[in-house]
């Protein structure tokens, strides 16, 4: 085959991949609309539309035409002719093809429709505190995922196959190891903190005007470098970010009238996701590499900006006066130090998304262990509420009075996202490890935060993480940036260095 014919074949393949991405972008836009204010009566039909378009993208990804392209480019000699980016595009497409080809298209469509309807059912069940209303959907979702795992195949624990979808290369064995190391340090530290004098937080529990909350959130987003020409901020029940393409990355938040910090830190969190997606290399647009490399690496960025930056003393030395001006009279008698201590207060709580840095990982470990049990057959969906409460008693010493604050608090299971939750704790570990490197590479890190000059920090992340999209694996990125594999000790050290001085512990 001549070089001209070879390049023509490659161009055809890239165009085919781009077509699939266009379908996925359309689905993403419809999903965003469904979660940000679409009329409730249209939810059922909208779910059918999502199912139809998703299935068409699915059919394209497992078609004979796709198989032909992959057979052609996967040939040992031909794949060596590809540059690194195109080689990754082929490898990623083949991985998806080999996995998806095992799922009948009609079963896939049924599943997409099921999860879309389940998310609406979950919203209503949470509002009414009625797990029984949601239970049939969740049972069917778990059952279908178990069928999928059998079709895909698995090594070791069945849950490993689901983990790999969100964090390539991650296994139950590795998670048990890093979670165990983290838990052994966090639980004793939390016990020490419980005995120490607690900071005053009463001033955080006032009535805060929603429009002022929105104004301040928009201000902080601009300061951090979120590009509003490539995104927007909207309101939803459960905050999320959606990257349609680097030029359209939308984030959402939730405003609580009695808490100005919930929306603020939620917005900064989603901003971290968005900064990643907005800064993927233009060369990857329209390819299957134009997204974050994994949920764990993605989460590392939201947690980095929310916690390592947004909850730092240096950040508030720059922005506390702006907060006081935004809410006149409400923080006038609260010192900057008192505010810093209050927003970094730690204690066991029921709601994951409002948990502090120290206890957050325990919330994730609970969900991880419940998911593992569901897929090993040790736990039934009907027994989830009881098992949930038992784990919260064991790990955090508290129990939810309602299922709305307990097993129904997260949307993830309604969407079938089993294997996703561990990425949050992995993200915390990655974030601490990246921060350790950032401090070495940028000695003036704290000074930059205190000046509100985030450009050098953002640029480091763009150059070392963001621009690569999915063209490198999580472990390749971690090893290249930090010089070693994932190491939970960096998060342990970060938490101790932060919380021991806060609570006067030696």
Angle at 138 between CA 136 and CA 140, to 5 degrees: 70
In the residue annotation, 399 being an active-site residue is answered as: no
- Helix 260-278 to helix 210-224 angle (10° resolution) is 30
Pairing relationship of beta strands 248-253 and 241-245 according to DSSP bridges: antiparallel
Strand (E) or helix (H) holding 234: strand 233-235
Rg, Å, the chain Cα set: 23
Pairing of strands 233-235, 241-245: unpaired
H helices within 101-171, ranges in order?
A: 105-128, 131-152, 159-166
**Exposure letters 53-72 (e unless 16+ CB within 10 A, then b):** bbbbbbbebbbeebeebbeb
Widest CA span in the chain = 77
Cβ burial of 374 (10 Å; 0-12, 13-18, 19+) is buried
List the catalytic residue out of 119, 270, 369, 371. 270
Check the annotation: does 185 bind a ligand.
no
Q: Is 22 annotated as a binding residue?
A: no
Residue 238 annotated as binding? no
- Residues 6+ away with beta carbon under 8 Å from 321: none
250: phi then psi, degrees, rounded to nearest 5 = -100, 145
Residue 395 makes CB contacts below 8 A (sequence gap 6+) with 362, 365, 366
Q: Please give the structure tokens belonging to residue 93.
A: 């497409």
**Residue positions annotated with a catalytic role:** 270
Residue numbers belonging to the annotated binding site: 269, 273, 299
In the annotated binding site for Zn(2+), the residues are 269, 273, 299
């Amino acid at each position: 085959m001549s070089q001209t014919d070879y390049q023509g074949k490659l161009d055809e393949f890239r165009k085919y991949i781009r077509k699939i991405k266009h379908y996925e972008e359309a689905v993403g836009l419809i999903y965003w609309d469904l979660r940000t204010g679409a009329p409730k009566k249209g939810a059922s039909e909208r779910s059918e539309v999502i199912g139809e378009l998703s299935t068409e993208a699915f059919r394209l990804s497992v078609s004979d035409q796709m198989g032909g392209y992959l057979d052609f480019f996967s040939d040992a000699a031909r794949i060596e002719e590809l540059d690194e980016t195109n080689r990754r595009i082929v490898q990623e497409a083949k991985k998806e093809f080999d996995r998806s080809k095992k799922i009948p298209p009609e079963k896939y469509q049924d599943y997409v429709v099921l999860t879309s309807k389940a998310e609406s059912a979950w919203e209503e069940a949470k509002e009414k505190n009625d797990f029984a209303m949601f239970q049939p959907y969740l049972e069917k979702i778990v059952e279908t995922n178990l069928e999928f795992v059998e079709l895909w195949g698995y090594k070791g624990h069945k849950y490993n196959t689901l983990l790999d979808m969100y964090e390539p290369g991650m296994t139950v064995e590795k998670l048990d190891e890093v979670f165990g190391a983290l838990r052994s340090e966090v639980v004793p530290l939390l016990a020490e903190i419980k005995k120490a004098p607690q900071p005053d937080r009463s001033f955080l529990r006032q009535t805060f005007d929603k429009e002022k909350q929105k104004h301040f959130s928009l201000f902080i987003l601009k300061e951090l470098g979120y590009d509003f020409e490539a995104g927007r901020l909207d309101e939803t029940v459960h905050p999320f970010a959606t990257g349609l393409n680097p030029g359209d990355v939308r984030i959402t938040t939730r405003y609580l009238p009695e808490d100005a910090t919930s929306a603020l830190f939620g917005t900064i969190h989603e901003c971290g996701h968005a900064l990643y997606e907005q800064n993927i290399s233009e060369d990857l647009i329209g390819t299957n590499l134009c997204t974050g490399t994994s949920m764990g690496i993605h989460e590392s960025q939201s947690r980095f900006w929310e916690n390592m930056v947004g909850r730092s003393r240096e950040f508030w030395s720059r922005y506390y006066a702006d907060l006081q001006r935004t809410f006149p009279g409400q923080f006038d008698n609260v010192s900057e130090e008192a505010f810093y201590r209050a927003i970094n207060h730690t204690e066991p709580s029921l709601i994951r998304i409002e948990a502090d840095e120290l206890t957050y990982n325990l919330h994730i470990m609970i969900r991880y262990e419940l998911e593992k049990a569901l897929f090993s057959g040790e736990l039934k969906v009907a027994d989830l509420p009881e098992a949930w409460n038992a784990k919260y008693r064991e790990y955090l010493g508290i129990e939810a009075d309602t299922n709305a604050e307990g097993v129904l608090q997260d949307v993830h299971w309604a969407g079938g996202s089993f294997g996703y939750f561990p990425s949050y704790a992995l993200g915390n570990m990655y974030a601490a490890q990246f921060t350790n490197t950032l401090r070495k590479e940028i000695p003036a890190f704290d000074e930059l935060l205190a000046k509100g000059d985030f450009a050098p920090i953002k640029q480091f992340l763009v150059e070392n993480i963001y621009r690569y999209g999915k063209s490198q694996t999580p472990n390749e990125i971690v090893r290249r940036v930090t010089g070693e594999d994932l190491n939970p000790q960096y998060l342990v050290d970060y938490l101790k260095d932060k919380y021991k001085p806060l609570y006067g512990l030696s």
